Chain A
């Protein structure tokens, strides 16, 4: 849907985050997840993240390729290690732990 990139060097660390949020249509969970990840990225990762939101109904073949089970799932492919944050991302502490941000 959208991708944002900005200059690095802000907040903790300097790594660039590659994030993909997989949702299934416009369910309440999907909408909450999109809102939550956007807010968090703008707060913590300004200028050094790349976020992609993908609707699996539109691209069902990606579910197997990306090893998805639950929805919504936010996949952090970089920086390593790879992490999958399942759920609507409402538990902020858990999301931050998953992203590796203190």
Chain B
């Protein structure tokens, strides 16, 4: 199981050290002046007393009691009250070089007695010695001091007390007087440096005997709510995934994403140039989330909440009801107000507080300007992991510059995203038209088509784009195309009508012909009848004539034989 840990209660640090500082052992916290050693040590003590039932002793070699009380009040700690409640004891060890005269052999038993007395007075399990190196300034016999320091740490170990020893950063070594030599269990290095005019506090666990620990430099933050170290969650890839879909707020876009929208808990990047409709798309998503009765947290880095509400009203989207019902919450800050990690820690805190099911970061590009290099990617990764582990669907807008091809190579964040939607303005025929394209969408069927993206008073509408010989046709070219098609179809309809009339006419003609022919036929038939009647009449007349003639001849013949 490894060694026993004593939790610090500092967000992030306990995760980083898998549970806290080594229990019953000393830990060295070192760093330059003003890097937060004292506040970190005090936080450890106060959290121990308040949250973990472990009382503590703070031995201050530098700051006087009043100053200390004042300083930690900025973290929201009422040290006076804690002292009165006898959960924390405070001892200011004043070392005044000018008062001290070394006259022979000595030891630090006086200090031991003080510590022992203070520990017993509150039943302490934790102690902070801040900064014990001050002793080297007051006493010159370093051989005695070193031996006594070693003995002191052993003595604290024997008593099972978890100790924090602070030390000033020295040249070429961790502390000025090599305290790291005595504290072999755990060493934490704090750093406070300024890069690009933004000051950043960083923490690194240099050494942790018998325990695994994160080895990177992690940014940390001191504000009115105490200390927190990024990552607040460990960056892992073992978060649960959802099959559930969540509508995008734009019917046409849902269609493009397999008809059902984004995956719940996925991360979506919407990139596009200025004015391509990124925020509008994000606002539609926010609206859809709130409409489903879920919460949405909107981080705005360029516009004020009121401005967003007003602007969205112009495209028929009223966000005010969601704000009133506290389903939608804005957090608007100028990106340059703090460093990147301050933003990220604040975002973490707001997410913890508000517990949204969707988060919008608009735009991520301006946030990125407040950080340096690949640390942005690291921190975004942690933020995304954090949101994924909480099944929060996140939409990031990203302002891209230059043309579409450049936007596509802007991959330093896109590789972290599950769905990437590209919005662009295409110039043609003297106008700019918006287009939308789903560049990728992990784990779902998605359209490979470019659609026209129309912002109207009724919101966003996606139109099927016409694909002509010169590519996709949008805007007035699309309207012209539509008009052409309309005319064409009308022409076809008229043509059909015309032909049908003609056929009708031809049919009538043919029928007339049929009638004429039949009449002719009837006439012929009649003629035939007439002719045959004439023929038979003639026949019978000839027969008659023959008979008459026969009759006539036979009469005259008898007369002549006499």
Beta-carbon contact of A94 and B103 below 8 Å: yes
> Nearest chain A CB to B153's CB is how many angstroms away?
16
Q: Which of B93, B106, B111 contacts A29 (CB 8 A)?
A: B106
A46 to chain B minimum Cβ distance, whole angstroms, is 21
Q: How many A-B contacts if CB must be within 8 Å?
A: 107
Contact among A24, A81, A88 with B104 in the assembled complex (CB-CB below 8 Å): A88
**A38 CB to closest chain B CB, in angstroms?**
14
Bound-state CA distance A85–B113 (Å) is 18
Of B91, B110, B117, B138, chain A has the most CB atoms within 10 Å of the CB of: B110
Residues B102 and A67 in contact, CB atoms below 8 Å apart? no
* Cβ A86 vs Cβ B99 within 8 A: no
Provide the residues of chain B in CB contact with A56, threshold 8 Å: 109-110, 113
Residues of B within 8 A of A74 (CB): 103
* Mask of B85-110 contacts with A, CB within 8 angstroms, 1/0: 00000010111000111111111111
Inter-subunit contact A63/B114 (CB<8 Å) = yes
Q: Measured between C-beta atoms, what is the minimum distance from B60 to chain A in Å?
A: 12
B439 at the A interface (CB under 8 A): no
Q: Which of A17-45 contact B (CB under 8 A)?
A: 22, 24, 29, 32-33, 36
Would you call B100 and A86 a contact (CB within 8 A)?
Answer: yes
Decide yes or no whether B139 CB sits under 8 A from chain A. Answer: yes
Which residues does chain B contribute within 8 Å of A82, judged by CB atoms?
A: 99
Tell me whether A95 and B114 are in contact (CB under 8 A).
no
B285 to chain A minimum Cβ distance, whole angstroms, is 61
- Residue among A24, A56, A74, A87 facing the most chain B CB atoms (10 A cut-off): A87
A86's partner among B103, B114, B117, B118 (CB-CB below 8 A) is B103
CB-CB nearest in chain A for B141: A87
* A67-99 contacts to B (CB < 8 Å): 67-74, 81-91, 94-95, 97-98
| Any B CB within 8 A of the CB of A64 | yes
The interface on chain B, measured as residues whose beta carbon lies within 8 A of the other chain's beta carbons, has a size of: 25
Contacts of B116 in A (CB 8 A): 60
Give A66 to B53 CA distance when docked, in angstroms. Answer: 31
Does A86 contact B106, Cβ atoms closer than 8 Å? yes
B99: chain A residues at CB < 8 Å are 81-84
Are B114 and A68 within 8 A (Cβ)?
yes
Chain B nearest Cβ from A26, distance in angstroms: 13
Contact A24 B102 (CB under 8 A): no
Task: Give Cα A73 to B138, complex, Å.
Answer: 14
From residue B107, how far is it (CB to closest CB) to chain A in Å? 6
Known contacts A61-B117, A63-B117, A64-B114: A71-B101 contact under CB 8 Å: no
Residue numbers in B under 8 Å from A85 (CB-CB): 100-103
Are the C-beta atoms of A88 and B108 separated by less than 8 Å?
A: no
10 pairs, A vs B, C-beta closer than 8 Å: A29-B104, A29-B107, A69-B135, A71-B107, A71-B108, A81-B99, A86-B101, A88-B104, A90-B105, A94-B103
Contacts from A to B (Cβ < 8 Å): 22, 24, 29, 32-33, 36, 56-57, 60-61, 63-64, 67-74, 81-91, 94-95, 97-98
- List B residues at the A interface (Cβ < 8 Å): 91, 93-95, 99-111, 113-114, 116-118, 135, 138-139
Given contacts A69-B93, A86-B102, 9 further A-B contacts (CB under 8 A): A24-B113, A60-B117, A69-B108, A69-B114, A70-B107, A70-B108, A73-B106, A85-B102, A94-B101
